[in-house]
Amino acid sequence: MADIKVPELAESITEGTIAQWVKKVGDRVEKGEFIVELETDKVNAEIISEEAGVLTQILAEEGDTVLVGQVIAVVQAGEGAAPAPVAPVEVTPAPAAPQAAASAPVATSVVEESTGERVIASPAARKLAREKGIDLAAVSPVDPQGRVRVQDVSAHGTAPVVAAPVVTPANGPVVFAPASETDRVTIEKMSRRRQTIAKRLLEVKQSTAMLTTFNEIDMTNVMALRKRKLEQFVKDNDIKLGFMSFFTKAVVAALKKYPYVNAQIQGDEIHLNNFFDIGIAVSTEEGLVVPVVRDANSKNFAEIEKNIAELAGKARDKKLGLNDMAGGSFTITNGGVFGSLMSTPIMNGTQAGILGMHSIVQRPVAINGEVEIRPMMYVALSYDHRIIDGKDSVGFLKTVKELIENPEDLLLNS
């Protein structure tokens, strides 16, 4: 018999949340087989079984917080050991508030999937389904991969509208008391990662003297160069030539020219980084993650594009490791892929700067005294004013602008 414990993932991680069991009690488990997904502050980890046998007990449910070293399941050696009996869980409804007592629904017991097959669903969706007494197997997911989410559970069926009772105070205007919470508000618990993102962004805002400066870039030349080289680039490197490699190269060149933008404060010291590990912000279902392109200064365009594509794929598949996100010196985020025209990005952790890219928009601009329509992009640099002055911040952004507008110069910096 083998206990399945929460492994030590990193020194800073002491707990996690059970995201999803991929095996259920009674299932056959092979040695080294992935049986449960654990969500931590930084990454999702796959916990495997160290022994072949049968999963006889699950000691932590999806959505539960578990500690490093805690036993969360038991695997018994053998081909088909009977599952250990599980004590029934009694669900006690919470007492209703006095005003909503007449209309608040009574809490329901847990409803298991009637088909007996495992339904892939987020912990929040399972919780909401239990509260509403909905069979997850009957819910039609929007996700093409079949994962049931909170929105799917909320949209399942049509609940009758409960009229809000009218409360008339002795002296004063008529007040409409709200109906039960589930009628007008869907309450979803923040994931562990979302809580961490919120906490860290707030810490950055409160602990730094953050300021943002803007500029605009004429994308005509880089778009023309990309169009000319795209077919041959794909043929030679088996990957598309995107704008991120151009901006990464431009950022590295600008960081070399303005080293304080590549620095960070440690106590009363300024640490000037002599390496160029560039974080690339990637949007996932759980929130923004920032995997790092290591030693971007020593990589060519194809290597940068492949590295970014690999990290983005791992982020979407929840395969990022702690080493993929640790130790970046500067970050690039591209809100333009979502249609953002302008924003003030928040710095990442203890870094001193972050570059925000935005949508490319055809706009009229003055060129040599004539008005022309050009593809323009606003860029923003948010920086820590404690160590970066206006001269360096403006100079950094101007350098990025000049290199992107004259992309052949980037080849000289490669």
At residue 391, the pLDDT reads: 94
Domain that holds residue 251: 193-412
Nearest to 54 by CA among 87, 85, 25, 20: 25
| Interacting residues of 1 by C-beta distance below 8 A, sequence separation 6+ | 53, 56, 74, 75, 76, 77
The C-alpha angle 277, 197, 342, rounded to 5 degrees, equals 75
Residue 393 inside a domain? The answer is: yes
Residue 290 inside a domain? The answer is: yes
Residue 188 inside a domain? The answer is: no
Residue 122 inside a domain? The answer is: no
Instruction: Flag whether pLDDT at 112 surpasses 90.
Output: no
Give the pLDDT band (50/70/90) at residue 107: very low
Nearest to 212 by CA among 338, 358, 363, 337: 358
- Answer with the residue of higher pLDDT: 140 or 173: 140
Give the mean model confidence (pLDDT) for residues 347-371: 94
CATH code at position 380 = 3.30.559.10
At residue 63, the pLDDT reads: 83
Across 93-107, 273-287, 305-319, 385-399, which has the greatest mean pLDDT? 385-399
Give the pLDDT band (50/70/90) at residue 40: confident
Instruction: Could you list the beta-strand ranges (E) of 273-320.
Output: 278-280, 282-284, 287-289, 292-293
Residue 267 inside a domain? The answer is: yes
Instruction: Flag whether pLDDT at 166 surpasses 60.
Output: no
* d(C-alpha 304, C-alpha 240), whole Å: 11
At residue 225, the pLDDT reads: 94
Active-site residue, from 238, 385, 392, 409 = 385
Residue 225: exposure state from Cβ atoms within 10 A (0-12, 13-18, ≥19): middle
- Answer with the residue of higher pLDDT: 162 or 330: 330
Instruction: Flag whether pLDDT at 124 surpasses 90.
Output: no
At residue 199, the pLDDT reads: 85
Residue 118 inside a domain? The answer is: no
Q: What are the beta bridge partners of residue 287?
A: 284
- Count of positions (residues) in the chain: 414
Nearest to 341 by CA among 356, 326, 320: 356
Contact yes or no for 395/377 (Cβ under 8 A):
no
Residue 121 inside a domain? The answer is: no
At residue 203, the pLDDT reads: 87
Dihedral (Cα; 390, 396, 401, 403), 10-degree rounding: 160
Nearest to 252 by CA among 294, 313, 312, 308: 294
Instruction: Flag whether pLDDT at 161 surpasses 60.
Output: no
Instruction: Flag whether pLDDT at 20 surpasses 80.
Output: yes
Q: What average pLDDT does the structure give for the chain?
A: 82
Q: Which residue matches tokens 């492949």?
A: 306
How large a percentage of the chain has pLDDT more than 70?
Answer: 79
How, if at all, do strands 330-334 and 353-357 pair?
Answer: parallel
Q: What is the pLDDT of residues 78-102, one digit of tens each?
A: 765 444 444 444 444 444 444 433 3
Instruction: Flag whether pLDDT at 386 surpasses 80.
Output: yes
Number of independent structural domains in the chain: 2
DSSP 378: E
How large a percentage of the chain has pLDDT more than 90?
Answer: 43
Residue 129 inside a domain? The answer is: no
Boundary of a domain, candidates 61, 76, 91? 76
Boundary of a domain, candidates 55, 76, 97? 76
Give the pLDDT band (50/70/90) at residue 130: confident
Q: What is the pLDDT of residues 210-268, one digit of tens each?
A: 999 999 999 999 999 999 999 999 999 999 999 999 999 999 999 999 999 999 998 88
* d(C-alpha 110, C-alpha 126), whole Å: 9
Nearest to 53 by CA among 81, 32, 25: 81
At residue 367, the pLDDT reads: 93
pTM of the model: 0.62
How, if at all, do strands 263-266 and 210-218 pair?
Answer: unpaired
Q: What is the pLDDT of residues 305-357, one digit of tens each?
A: 999 999 999 988 888 888 898 889 999 999 999 999 999 999 998 899 999 99
Boundary of a domain, candidates 76, 104, 126? 76
* d(C-alpha 82, C-alpha 80), whole Å: 6
Residue type (1 letter), 189: K
CATH code at position 16 = 2.40.50.100
Active-site residue, 385 included: yes
* d(C-alpha 155, C-alpha 140), whole Å: 9
Dihedral (Cα; 97, 102, 104, 109), 10-degree rounding: 100
Active-site residue, from 238, 389, 392, 409 = 389
Give the pLDDT band (50/70/90) at residue 189: confident
